[in-house]
Structures are given as C-alpha cells and as structure tokens.
C-alpha cells in the first residue's frame, strides 16, 4: 500500500496561478497590489478602490480540541472553497504561521490535504517578512529601553520591573530565562530578562488589532514596557520611539494575498498567540477582505471558549465587526476524547464515548448563541470515523436544534464536493436574522468581566483571585486601565483551568493567578495557569528532516 | 539660506521606474524575475537566460578613511551611472545595509546625494528580508545546538567551548555578554553566551561566498560551532541541520535588483562585516551582474589595505574572479587627517597637511598594483575642498603616474556630469592589459600568509603572535585548516594595528592577538585588536527622529 501523500506533496502537485490573476478576480485594483515573488502579494488598503467593509463574517471556531488539533484551518479553507464553488464571492482571512513551531514539531500551518493555502512552503517559512518586521520592532524597542537606562535613565525606569521582553521567532528554551548586560560598565546594565517567541509579543497583538497606520502608531505608543522606581508605568510614547516602531512596520501592516488549492483568494496576515493574546489574524486583513468579498471566512485560535469569546469581546469590539455565523468544528476523535477515551485509542469506533463526550460540544454551541450569533457544527471527517458515528452525531445535532454537516475538505476538498453541505448551511445561517452582542460591557470592573466569562462561557461557579492578582487589580484601577476588555489565558483542553477535566464540567472555580495589562493591544490578560511564551524544541526536531533538493524545492515541510 | 536637502528628500523627489522596466532593460528574462513590491525584485540565477559571467569587475576601495567615511558607496553608484551615461552596459553590486546601525547612528547606507540606490527607505529597513532569513538560520542553528545539549548531548559538545553566537540585526550592547539557560532543569543548560549583530554571523559570510545553493549547503555544513569535551571541532553537518538552514536561505540567496536615481540597475545583496569577515556583497550577486553587464562596479568595506586585499585573496579566489581595475576613493579631508589635522579642522584649506597625508594614498595605490591590477584614484569632492587643493592632488597623482579624476557624484550625480572624467579613466583602465594575481598561495602556512599581508600591504616589519594565537595556530594545523586564506581584523584607520598612527608608518609590528577559524566561510580570522561584533546605540539614537507621515511615507532616514 502506498503512503498517503504529504501536505507538501499535495501542495506541490497543485496548479498555482500567478497572484495577479487571483487579485484581479478578487477585485483588487492593480495599483493596490504589491507582488512578493510570483505567488504572494501585499494589498495596500489605502490604495484599494473597493468599497467600505460590507462582507459578512463567518468565524470558524471549535469544540475543545485534542493536542493534534481538529482541523480549524483546513475547515476554514475548505468551507471558503465550497462557498466559492456555490457561486458566492468569498475571501479567507487566516493567521500567518510562526517559524519556530515549523522547525520544531508541526512542520507547517496552512491547512491540509486538498484544503491548503499556497505556496505552503513560503507561507510557512519567511512569507513576506511580517513576523521578522514585528521581531525587529519589538527588539528595537528593548534595545532602545536598555540603552536609555545605560545612558543615564532620565525616565527613572526600574530594571527589576520590566514587563516587556525581547523576542525571536524560534523555539528556543535556553532563552526563557537569561541575564543580560554582563561584562562591565561599557556593556549595559545587568538585569534578569528572557525572550518570548514573536507571536507572544505585544507588538504582534497591537499589529493585529490596529485599524490603520495611525491607530497602529497610537497603540504602539500606549504599550507599557515597565515601571519606574516609584512604580509608575512607562510607555513607548514616554520613550518617544513609537514613530520608529511604526516605520519598521509600515510595509508589514499591509495584508498578504495568497490562494487556496482551489483558487480562492486568502489574506494571511498576523498571528498573535491565542493564550496571552487574542489569537486571530489582523483586523486590517479581515476588514480588507470585507471590502472585497460578500462572505469572509476567518478563524480564531483554540476552542470556542477562548478563541470565539476573544473574537467577540476584543477583536469584534475594536473593529466594529458583527459576525454573522460561527462554525464550530467538531471531530468524532475529539468527542471521544472528551468522553474519556485515551489518546491512543481515538481511532477505535466507540459510540458510548461519543455520547459521553458530546456535552462538550453542546456547551460550545450554546455559548455561541449567547453572543446572538447562529452556530453551525462542522463535523470534520477523519478516515477512522465510522458511518454509524457520523450518523449518530448528525442526529444528535438535529435533536439539539443545531445546524450540522459532515465535511471532508481534507480528502475531497472544498474545491471538490467535500464541503458542499456545510457551505449550504453556512450560506443559510449568514442570511438568518442575528443580533450580535458582546458578553459584557467595558464599564464592568475587570474582576466582574472575568467572572462573567468564567460563569457564562466556562460554566464555572466563580472566580478565585490570588493575592498577586488582587494587588494587580488595584494597580489596574489606579492606572486607569479598568475599562479594557479581558483576554483569558486558560488551557484549551478543558472549560476549566485544569487540562485533565473533560466534557462539560460543573461545580468548579477558575483560579486567576496574575493579570498582565497589555495597554497597547488594549486588553488585560488574566492568567489562570502557567503559560509557555517560549516553546522548546523536541528531541527530534522537524528541522532534522528539512532540506532543499537540487532544483531548490523544499523537502520535509509537512 | 535654506538647508541642503537630505538624502531621503533627494531620494523621494527622484523619479523611480517600475522594477520590471529596469530588469527588462538590463536583459533579465521575465521568468527569472520575482518582484518584491513595485521597486524591488529578486533574480533567480537558475532561471536567468543570460550567458555565463563575462563582465569586467571594477572594485571600488579607498584610502584609510575618516570616521565619517569617504563616500565609497556614493562613488560606486555615481561611477556606474557615469559609465552608463557614456554608453557602457553596466551594473552595480553593493552590500545590503544593516538595520542596527540605521536605527543607531547612520540613518542609512545606500549612497548619498544624487548617487543613491532606490527605494532608499525600503533598502535601509527590511528590504527583501535577506538579513532576517540569515538571522533566522543563525538562530535556528543555535536553538538546535542548545536543544541537542539539553536532550542528552550525544555529540559530547562542551558548552564552555562554543564558538558561535546567536545574532540580532540590532545595535544592542546589553546582549554582548549574557548567561542563558537559567531557570532550572526544564529550561536548558546554563552557559555563558552573547549575541552578535547579524552582519557578524558566519552564516552571512557563508551566504556571501557561496557560488550556488549546493555550495551554500556544503559551506553551512562545514561551519564549526564549537568543540567537544575532548576538544574536537563540531560542525553543522555533525548535527545534521545544514539542510534546514539551506531551506531557510533558499529565497534570500537570490540577488536583489534595484535602481539608482539615474536608472542604472544595481544588485544589492548580502553584507558581511569588513573586520571579522570579508566585507563584500554576495559572490552570487557579483556573478549574476557579470552575466548581465559588460562592466560591474562593486565595493569592498574599509580601506584598500583591508577591503581590497580580502576581495583579492578571499572573494576573487573562491569566485574565480579577476578584477580589471580598482578605484581608490580619496578625499581632501581624509588626506588632511592622515597629514595630522584634527577631525574638527578638516574643512579648513591646508595644503601642507594634504602634502603630509598623501603618503597614505601612495601606499594604498601601489598596494593595488601588487595584485597586478590598475588603480584609478577617485577624488570624491566635498563642498569644503578648494580648487587649489584639488589641483595639487591631481598634479601629485600625475607625477606619481596614477590615473586620477575629481568626481562630484554627490552634488551633480553620475547621471549628470559629476563622474564623466572618472568613468572615462575607468573605462580605459579596464581595457588596459592586467595580470591579476593573489598575494599569497594557499599552501603557505597560516602565519606566513599573515606575515605576507602585514609586510607587503601594511608595510610592517613583522608579525608578533600572542601565546593564545600560537596555540590556535597549532589547533588549526591539527584540524587540517591550514590551507584556508586569512581574513585580517584590523583597524581601518591605520596601516598599523593602532588607529592613531596615521599616514604611511614604517618600523612597526602587527600584533595577532587571536585566530578564529571560520571553516564554513572558509577563512581564518586574525584578530589584531579588540573587534566589536555587537555595536551599541548612542545617547540620542537616530530612531528618536524616525516616523511615518499620515500617507505612510518615512521620516528621519538620512
């Protein structure tokens, strides 16, 4: 039996069209298009002749996932391809992959099978350099801050109270905790420090929430990078370098146009972490897509308890967006895991486990309704799923009163017939009357915002704040940051803050360990556990399999 | 009196043509061209339909410079524009600017006045991302190395004997000396470390000396990043990641096409340090230019004692190049400084100082002849120069038997008549018979190669090796690296290793403090003093003046 083709093999076998053709078909005027190689381009929103944003937004989210992921990006791509096939004017808005994990474990993050964005190798590697520009802006800030301290420290910055780190787009555990500025009086001022991965940078979050270049500049200026010796926050604007950081980002901020295997236009732009940030592609990309298309299919990180909630309460709020439908991706595998089946047994047919696990899906689906938006369940088909399992799940959804369809966008593609039913349901849903609302008003105190999310979305009884978190709540009040929305950093594997509690648990408390004000991005991160902001490499990194053949073609991206 | 326009203002006022037009005029076939925005493109040498390299190479070097520089890049651009104006098919090959110094002191590095390459802002900022790709490859290597040590250290790497550092394209003195891997057993293995600026990375040197993708892969594999506990060198190939590093560089390695203000095509590609590396643009760019043009004007860092010697003995050797002429840029200011005038008095007319300083130029010019190549002196005119000073200098050159011309390529441009005389002399020189030779054969022992350079080029009596350097010579012999060429790291301000000794000193010794084998790049660096491989920012960094206007245009690049 021959092996299944890898994503890279499928991608390379696909016919890819010159990006100018894709742009023209999408209605991008030529002078708004800046090509980057043959198959990538940036769109300058300021030169775009398209009308104001009008396209309906379909958000692709998911039930609580397995560690392997439930195929949100693949479903996003496949759904858009199917909508296009049905005659809709559609555009995709996706996050850019981070290079660090590509070299480490994942190999790539551009969808899979027949539902991929192309050119997958270039998107997974440096793409158009946006993350490098963000890395540069972040690190320029920290070089300027440490230089300010070294040159006399007129701002009275306390080197022990820095809240901002340098970043690399790399999985490099050795840089998590470092001491810098060693070597004597000409080498800077010694202090404890650390590096995050670029997607964890607040510059990334700012980049993805900015509405335009002027808003980007203001947000950068509002970033708090540390505190003075008398505990006053110090911002980028205090240092006077928001202009330089904006200059470093002025090209990166233009959305990147690529295409799916089926030729659907996709904007792939920005990629903040889904834990300590909001986990969606840039607002500028989403709004640019809404100017060009009638339906925009986009994605949020992790499950709907995290990604969708943040999309609704952070991104949609700053962007003035109202999503018209939310697709909740579910898999038979993930439902069985939520039903208590061990990870290595998920391929075995097990109706009882499915039935036990479906409570997880139920809570996610009804959560979506709390925002006044119609949910559609996309059952992303795996080859191990039985017809009996799929039929049971469809029947359950029907009984629950939830639109649902099985999609095989990996194997048959949205460009084929793999997503036709799903697309039809989504097309109906976006036409259905909806009354989008945020979960909480901004005037609510920060602790009450957190309580609202924990009770309404997670199903918790209440929230417990640690002593440091209580102290931080007082700081937030004093510094005038109380009206910012909240960004929850919680495990994606459970509604609780304990990854091992599956299904739809009740009778639990959410523990807020600490709060991180991100005053540039414009949210308060609530940490409910240890959050890894600099991943490590595994014992056998994906990089060991990577290479280039004699013709310059990539090898080993999967 | 109105202020002189800045380089940025001149650049922005210039008419810039779509890069496709420049490429077509230069003979680049469309399917070898990959656009990056409107005014930048990469050329894929593998798809280029042009013939094998045939263009004559004109190397622009200089006398010992002042700290402000003598305008080598400006002269390179202006000379090429003048040659084009005279009807020659000409192309420029220049280094890419490093972002760190742009944010720090310099503001930019793309020529000046009317002799600039465009778009100066984009070239000075992220350009096409090559330096970011090099940073990524360098740092991927180090993440993989530290991960290897953490995961069991099968290669027996001694963390105390690492010879390779992480890099950032940033002036960040706080990262010069750091301790990494802190925080306990899950956070890596603690060790002393440091960051260099990206242009100091051996990956950069490798990138610039590689003849093609396959050679790049081999050279990356040969990089020695440290030693085992039993003091054996460990290479990238031992770790098995040369394929992944090559994959990260596969797009970056294609040369970047831009244009001058006068519309001359320029390849701007790669930019290794001129001290611990060889200081010239990529060999691939030079050879690509030689396929497309009859005359290629290129540049080497620092004065001719360093840049030209390394060009002849390292780059020309690995590339099989024979330069046809060397332009030695001289300025009245630099000659006066070499004659003993203080830096703040250089604008005052002073014929006696000029006469005293000209010995410096004499030695550089005659050094060029030792390589069998014709020198041409380009007197780069400054507004403070008097007619009397310029006439004296021209007369001196005539008496010395050296071709010389005054060039005003900053003020009048090579596209105007500012470089006509210089271009005529250079056009003659490249037609003159030449018999290029390297200064030393590779079989010579490393210490004798260093002695040859010190005596023949610098005018030293001899070379003194420190005890560590002698020990390193024995290691080099034992490891089989003796046949590599030498890369001198010496102050650019003096023929000696003491920056304060001006003119053409005699009766001195060169002190070799240490030797650094760069087995991937393929040279042995001889350190003759402290070399700064991570610059710092000044008290008032250029970044403080930088910004973006409402239309997205850059502010504060100079």
> CA of B195: which chain A residue's CA is closest?
A180
Residue A491 pLDDT more than 80?
A: yes
Q: Which residues of B touch A536 (CB under 8 A)?
A: 147, 150, 188
Domain final residue, candidates B431, B463, B492:
B431
pLDDT of amino acid B3: 65
Between strands B191-193 and B178-180, the pairing is antiparallel
A543 found inside a domain? no
The set of long-range contacts for A29-38, using a CB threshold of 8 Å and a minimum separation of 24, is A33/A257, A34/A254, A34/B35, A34/B37, A34/B38, A35/B34, A35/B35, A35/B36, A35/B37, A36/A128, A36/A256, A36/B35, A36/B36, A36/B37, A37/A122, A37/B34, A37/B35, A37/B36, A37/B42, A37/B251, A38/B34
Nearest alpha-carbon partner for A491 in A477, A478, A481, A505: A505
For residue A214, what is the domain's CATH number?
A: 3.30.1510.10
Between strands A224-228 and A233-235, the pairing is antiparallel
Of B125, B169, B250, the CB nearest to A548: B250
Task: State whether A56 and A141 are in the same domain.
Answer: no
B427-437 per-position pLDDT tens digit? 999 998 889 99
How many angstroms separate the CA atoms of B223 and B210, rounded?
13
Residue B106 pLDDT more than 70?
A: no
C-beta of residue B143 within 8 angstroms of C-beta of residue A537: yes
- Which of A98, A128, A129, A140 is the best substitution to test chain B (most B C-beta atoms within 10 A)? A140
In the residue annotation, A214 being an active-site residue is answered as no
Q: Which residues of A touch B541 (CB under 8 A)?
A: 144, 147
Of A38, A168, A251, the CB nearest to B139: A168
pLDDT of amino acid A467: 97
How many angstroms separate the CA atoms of A279 and A309, rounded?
11
How many angstroms separate the CA atoms of A83 and A97, rounded?
24
Calculate the CA B330 to chain-centre distance.
18
Residue B67 assigned to a binding site: yes
How many angstroms separate the CA atoms of A242 and A511, rounded?
35
Q: Could A150 and B173 be called an inter-chain contact, meaning their C-beta atoms sit closer than 8 Å? A: yes
Inter-chain Cβ pairs, chain A and chain B, closer than 8 A = 233
> CA of B237: which chain A residue's CA is closest?
A544
Which chain A residues in 247-306 lie under 8 Å from chain B, judged by CB atoms?
Answer: 247-248, 250-252
A53-108 per-position pLDDT tens digit? 999 999 999 999 988 888 999 999 999 999 999 999 999 999 999 999 999 986 56
- Average pLDDT of the residues in A355-363: 96
Residue B506 assigned to a binding site: no
Which chain B residues in 165-194 lie under 8 Å from chain A, judged by CB atoms?
Answer: 166, 168-183, 186-189
Between strands B265-268 and B256-260, the pairing is antiparallel
B553 found inside a domain? no
**Of the residues A14, A26, A252, A274, which is catalytic?**
A274
pLDDT of amino acid A1: 37
What confidence tier does A366 reach under pLDDT thresholds 50, 70, 90? very high
In the residue annotation, A72 being an active-site residue is answered as yes
pLDDT of amino acid B530: 86
Residue B66 assigned to a binding site: yes
How many angstroms separate the CA atoms of A166 and A532, rounded?
15
Domain final residue, candidates B232, B249, B266:
B249
Q: Could A541 and B178 be called an inter-chain contact, meaning their C-beta atoms sit closer than 8 Å? A: no
Task: State whether A483 and A521 are in the same domain.
Answer: yes
Q: Is the peptide bond before A510 cis (omega within 30 degrees of 0)?
A: no
What confidence tier does B6 reach under pLDDT thresholds 50, 70, 90? confident
Q: Could A188 and B176 be called an inter-chain contact, meaning their C-beta atoms sit closer than 8 Å? A: yes
pLDDT of amino acid A108: 61
Task: State whether A231 and A162 are in the same domain.
Answer: yes
A334 found inside a domain? yes
Which carries the bigger pLDDT value, residue B13 or residue B129? Answer: B129
Which of helix, strand or coil describes residue B316? helix
Domain final residue, candidates B204, B221, B249:
B249
A263 found inside a domain? yes
Helix and strand numbers, DSSP H then E, in chain B: 19, 26
Task: State whether B270 and B386 are in the same domain.
Answer: yes
Rg of the Cα trace of chain B? 23
Beta bridge partners of B93: B267, B298
How many angstroms separate the CA atoms of A546 and B82, rounded?
46
Of B36, B176, B188, the CB nearest to A183: B176
How many angstroms separate the CA atoms of A234 and A220, rounded?
12
Task: State whether B143 and B244 are in the same domain.
Answer: yes
Q: Could B136 and A126 be called an inter-chain contact, meaning their C-beta atoms sit closer than 8 Å? A: yes
Longest dimension (CA), chain A: 72
pLDDT of amino acid B1: 38
Task: Give CA angle at B82 (B80, B83), nearest 5°.
Answer: 65
B115-126 per-position pLDDT tens digit? 999 999 999 999
Q: Which residues of A touch B246 (CB under 8 A)?
A: 547-548
Rg of the Cα trace of chain A? 23
Q: Which residues contact B335 (CB under 8 A, 6 or more apart)?
A: B63, B353, B354, B357, B358, B360, B361, B393
How many angstroms separate the CA atoms of B233 and A153, rounded?
43
Task: State whether B124 and B272 are in the same domain.
Answer: yes
Residue B73 assigned to a binding site: yes
B297-326 per-position pLDDT tens digit? 999 999 999 999 999 999 999 999 999 999
CA distance B537 to chain A (A): 6
What confidence tier does B67 reach under pLDDT thresholds 50, 70, 90? confident
pLDDT of amino acid B108: 62
Q: Could A174 and B537 be called an inter-chain contact, meaning their C-beta atoms sit closer than 8 Å? A: no
Q: Which residues contact B246 (CB under 8 A, 6 or more apart)?
A: A547, A548, B213, B216, B217, B220
- Average pLDDT of the residues in B471-496: 97
pLDDT, mean over chain A: 95
Domain count, chain A: 3
- Which of B247, B252, B534 is the best substitution to test chain A (most A C-beta atoms within 10 A)? B247
Task: State whether B280 and B416 are in the same domain.
Answer: yes
Across the beta sheet with A514-518, the strand order is A486-489, A523-527, A514-518
- Average pLDDT of the residues in B377-400: 96
CB distance from B555 to chain A under 8 Å? yes
Residue A5 assigned to a binding site: no
Q: How far is CA B513 from CA A2, A534, B463, B497, B527, in A?
A: 60, 38, 11, 11, 6
Of A129, A180, A552, the CB nearest to B132: A129
Which of helix, strand or coil describes residue B511? strand
Task: State whether B55 and B103 are in the same domain.
Answer: yes
Beta bridge partners of B79: none
C-beta of residue A457 within 8 angstroms of C-beta of residue A309: yes
pLDDT of amino acid A187: 95
C-beta of residue B226 within 8 angstroms of C-beta of residue B193: no
pLDDT of amino acid B433: 86
- Which of B125, B143, B558 is the best substitution to test chain A (most A C-beta atoms within 10 A)? B143
Of B248, B541, B550, the CB nearest to A147: B541
Residue pointed to by tokens 């004798």: B448
B520-550 per-position pLDDT tens digit? 999 999 999 888 999 999 999 999 999 999 8
pLDDT of amino acid B46: 95
Q: Could B554 and A250 be called an inter-chain contact, meaning their C-beta atoms sit closer than 8 Å? A: yes
Nearest alpha-carbon partner for B430 in B114, B89, B45: B89
Q: Which residues contact A104 (CB under 8 A, 6 or more apart)?
A: A171, A535, A536, A537, A538, A541, A542, A543
CA distance A458 to chain B (A): 31
pLDDT of amino acid A110: 87
B266 found inside a domain? yes
Nearest alpha-carbon partner for B150 in B103, B188, B118: B188
Residue B148 pLDDT more than 90?
A: yes
What phi and psi values does residue B458 have, to the nearest 5 degrees?
Answer: -85, -25
CA distance B216 to chain A (A): 11
In the residue annotation, A382 being an active-site residue is answered as yes
CB distance from B437 to chain A under 8 Å? no
How many angstroms separate the CA atoms of B297 and B75, rounded?
10
CB distance from A530 to chain B under 8 Å? no
Q: Which two tokens stand for residue B174?
A: 């706080």
**Of the residues A12, A47, A106, A501, which is catalytic?**
A106
CA distance B307 to chain A (A): 29
For residue B471, what is the domain's CATH number?
A: 3.10.410.10
Helix ranges restricted to H, B14-108: 19-26, 72-85, 99-104
Between strands A40-43 and A295-299, the pairing is unpaired
A153-185 per-position pLDDT tens digit? 999 999 999 999 999 999 999 999 999 999 999
Which chain A residues in 306-325 lie under 8 Å from chain B, judged by CB atoms?
Answer: none
Which of helix, strand or coil describes residue A433? coil
How many angstroms separate the CA atoms of A270 and A216, rounded?
13
What phi and psi values does residue A551 have, to the nearest 5 degrees?
Answer: -90, 5
B282-301 per-position pLDDT tens digit? 999 999 999 999 999 999 99
CB distance from A498 to chain B under 8 Å? no
Its domain, for residue A518, covers 446-528
**Of the residues A32, A42, A50, A74, which is catalytic?**
A74
How many angstroms separate the CA atoms of B141 and B246, rounded?
11
Of A38, A175, A244, the CB nearest to B103: A244
Residue A3 pLDDT more than 70?
A: no
Of B129, B247, B554, the CB nearest to A547: B247
Q: Is the peptide bond before B119 cis (omega within 30 degrees of 0)?
A: yes
Which of helix, strand or coil describes residue B120? helix
A215-244 per-position pLDDT tens digit? 999 999 999 999 999 999 999 999 999 999
Q: Where are the beta strands (DSSP E) in B300-444?
A: 325-330, 374-380, 403-407
Residue B128 pLDDT more than 90?
A: yes
Nearest alpha-carbon partner for B503 in B352, B343, B338, B354: B338
A126-141 per-position pLDDT tens digit? 999 999 999 999 999 9
Task: State whether A139 and A78 are in the same domain.
Answer: no
B436 found inside a domain? no
CB distance from A543 to chain B under 8 Å? yes
In the residue annotation, A95 being an active-site residue is answered as yes
Which of helix, strand or coil describes residue A488? strand
Helix and strand numbers, DSSP H then E, in chain A: 19, 26
B149-187 per-position pLDDT tens digit? 999 999 999 999 999 999 999 999 999 999 999 999 999
How many angstroms separate the CA atoms of A337 and A358, rounded?
10
Q: Could A143 and B172 be called an inter-chain contact, meaning their C-beta atoms sit closer than 8 Å? A: yes
Task: State whether B266 and B245 are in the same domain.
Answer: no
How many angstroms separate the CA atoms of A225 and A141, rounded?
9
B543 found inside a domain? no
Q: Which two tokens stand for residue A157?
A: 């910055």
Task: State whether B456 and B401 are in the same domain.
Answer: no
For residue B291, what is the domain's CATH number?
A: 3.40.50.300
Q: Could A135 and B132 be called an inter-chain contact, meaning their C-beta atoms sit closer than 8 Å? A: yes
> CA of B33: which chain A residue's CA is closest?
A37
Task: State whether A422 and A337 are in the same domain.
Answer: yes
B534 found inside a domain? no
- Average pLDDT of the residues in A504-508: 97
């Amino acid at each position: 039996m021959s092996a299944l083709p890898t994503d890279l093999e499928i991608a390379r076998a696909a016919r890819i069209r010159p990006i100018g053709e894709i742009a023209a078909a999408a209605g991008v005027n030529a002078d708004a298009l800046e090509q980057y190689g043959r198959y990538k381009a940036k769109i300058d929103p300021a030169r775009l002749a398209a009308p104001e944003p009008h396209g309906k937004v379909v958000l692709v989210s998911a039930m609580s996932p397995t560690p392997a992921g439930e195929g949100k990006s693949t479903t996003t791509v496949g759904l858009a391809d199917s909508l296009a096939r049905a005659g809709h004017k559609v555009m995709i808005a996706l996050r850019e992959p981070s290079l660090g994990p590509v070299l480490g474990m994942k190999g790539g993050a551009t969808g899979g099978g027949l539902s991929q964005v192309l050119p997958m190798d270039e998107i997974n590697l440096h793409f158009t350099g946006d993350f490098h520009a963000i890395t540069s802006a972040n690190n320029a800030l920290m070089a300027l801050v440490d230089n300010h301290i070294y040159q006399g420290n007129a701002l009275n910055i306390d080197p022990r109270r820095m809240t901002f780190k340098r970043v690399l787009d790399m999985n490099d555990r050795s840089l998590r905790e470092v001491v810098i500025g060693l070597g004597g009086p000409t080498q800077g001022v010694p202090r404890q420090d650390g590096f995050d991965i670029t997607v964890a940078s607040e510059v990334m979050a700012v980049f993805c929430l900015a509405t335009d270049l002027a808003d980007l500049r203001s947000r950068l200026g509002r970033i708090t990078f540390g505190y003075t010796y008398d505990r006053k926050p110090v911002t980028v604007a205090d240092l006077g370098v928001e202009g330089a950081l904006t200059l470093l980002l002025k090209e990166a901020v233009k959305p990147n146009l690529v295409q799916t295997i089926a030729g659907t236009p996709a904007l792939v732009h920005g990629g903040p972490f889904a834990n300590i940030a909001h986990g969606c592609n840039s607002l500028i990309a989403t709004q640019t897509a809404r100017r060009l298309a009638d339906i925009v299919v986009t994605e949020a990180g992790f499950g709907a308890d995290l990604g969708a909630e943040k999309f609704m309460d952070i991104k949609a709020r700053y962007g003035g967006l109202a999503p018209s439908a939310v697709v909740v991706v579910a898999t038979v595998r993930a439902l069985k895991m939520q039903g208590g089946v061990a990870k290595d047994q998920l391929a075995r047919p097990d109706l009882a486990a499915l039935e036990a696990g479906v409570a997880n899906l139920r809570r996610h689906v009804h959560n979506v309704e709390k925002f006044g938006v119609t949910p559609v369940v996309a059952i992303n088909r795996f080859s191990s799923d039985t017809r009996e399992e799929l039929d049971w799940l469809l029947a359950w959804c029907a009984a629950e009163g939830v639109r649902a369809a099985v999609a095989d966008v990996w194997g048959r593609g949205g460009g084929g017939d793999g997503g036709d039913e799903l697309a039809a349901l989504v097309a109906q849903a976006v036409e259905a009357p909806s009354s989008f609302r945020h979960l909480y008003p901004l005037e609510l105190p920060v602790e009450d915002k957190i309580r609202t999310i924990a009770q309404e979305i997670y199903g918790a009884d209440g929230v417990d704040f640690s002593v440091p978190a209580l102290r931080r709540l007082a700081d937030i009040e004093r510094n005038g940051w109380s009206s910012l929305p909240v960004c929850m950093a919680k495990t994606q594997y459970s509604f609780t803050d304990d990854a091992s509690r599956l299904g739809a648990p009740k009778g639990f408390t959410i523990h807020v360990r600490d709060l991180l004000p991100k005053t540039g991005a414009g949210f308060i991160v609530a940490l409910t556990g240890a959050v890894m902001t600099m991943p490590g490499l595994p014992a056998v990194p994906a990089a060991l399999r990577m290479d280039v053949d004699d013709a310059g073609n990539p090898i080993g991206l999967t």
